[in-house]
Amino acid sequence: MKAKVIITPKRAVLDPQGKTVQTALEHMGCSGVSDVRIGKYIEIEMDGDRETVEAKLSEYADKFLANPNIEDYRLVFED
Amino acid sequence: MKFAVLQFPGSNCDQDCVHVLRSVFGYPTRLLWHKEYSVGDADAVIIPGGFSYGDYLRTGSIARFSPVMGAVKEFADNGGLVLGICNGFQILCEAGLLPGALIRNRSLQFRCEHVYLQVASHNSPFTGQIPEDKNLRIPIAHGEGNYFCDDETLQSLEDNDQVLFQYVDAEGDLTDHANPNGSRANIAGICNEKRNVGGMMPHPERASEAILGGDDGRLIFQSLITALKNQPTLA
């Protein structure tokens, strides 16, 4: 099974990369951009059924893949 | 009195720390490889700067799971003195031994320059010997030194006197302009609630001899040494 871990900075955390890209978009003439957040994307291939993989990845995302002080994450699954 | 300086793949300030403790201060100091399971007979542990594990995923996030960090946690839980410098500070935050996290500098630039620090608390083994009203001039060298914590954590840091150092300008004023990375409350260094674990982004080991352009960093190591001498368990 393929799992995707999508990690984004928490709302309260300053995201200087996002801000810089937002400004660049505006300078390029792309109007209407109200926010840009830059995070991380991890693809993981893992054996097991969906429930097992989800339980295991949640555990490791909480303690390793994402830092709960500064990041949120969500898991997306593909069969 | 013996010191251990941790060494991870990617550490690059380890030898500087050993040099200062061994050659400038004259104490037995050994390097402790990340695969060790014990800090041995060390009386204090220094986690040096660098780019452990290439800063992959997040700074310090992989180093914190190395065997030696299990030993450091146990050492710290038993009251042992631990100082993390730069990447060492990042590792201690990732390990949960210090609150908060260090994120990308708000300028997105790697900042490598001398800064001025005000001592926010003298009540710690890391700052005890720094004269009152003395601001320190010490270099920083980091891309991810922007100290972040939530409001509640910041409040508890302030309530418990856990902020050790804050960035100020040459006149000693705590201004936004003096903040090189965007850290909350200009924080450059903190300690834990028990006050035996400290972390700081600036590099005292690069400012411990006059020939290097300043020796204000000595005061931090001197504080640590004095604190160890005053520990009742040490001869």
Q: For chain B, percent helix, then strand, then coil, each to nearest 5? A: 30, 25, 45
Q: Specify the amino acid at residue B157.
A: L
What's the CATH number of domain B3-229, 3.40.50.280, 2.70.98.10, 3.30.300.30, 3.40.50.880? 3.40.50.880
Task: Respond yes or no: is residue B205 known to be catalytic.
Answer: yes
Predicted confidence (pLDDT) per residue in A10-49, tens digit: 998 989 999 999 999 999 999 999 999 999 999 999 999 9
Contact B89, B6 (CB under 8 A): no
B86: left (phi over 0), alpha (psi -120 to 50) or beta: left
Q: Any idea where the domains of chain B sit in the sequence? A: 3-229
Residue tagged active-site, from B13, B17, B86, B149 = B86
| Report field, pTM of the whole predicted structure over 0.90 | yes
Predicted confidence (pLDDT) per residue in B1-50, tens digit: 999 999 999 999 999 999 999 999 999 999 999 999 999 999 999 999 99
Please tell me the distance in Å from A48's CA to the nearest CA on chain B: 25
Range of the domain at A6: 2-78
Q: Which two tokens stand for residue B79?
A: 């009251």
Q: Which two tokens stand for residue B4?
A: 């251990």
Average pLDDT of chain B to the nearest whole number:
96
pLDDT surpasses 60 at B57: yes
User: Domains in chain A: how many in total?
Assistant: 1
Residue tagged active-site, from B17, B34, B191, B203 = B203
Interface with A, mutate which of B58, B105, B156 (most A CBs under 10 A):
B58
Q: Cβ contacts (< 8 Å) between B148 and chain A: which residues?
A: 13-14, 69-70
Nearest CA in chain B to A64: B61
Q: What is the CATH number of the domain that holds A44?
A: 3.30.1280.10
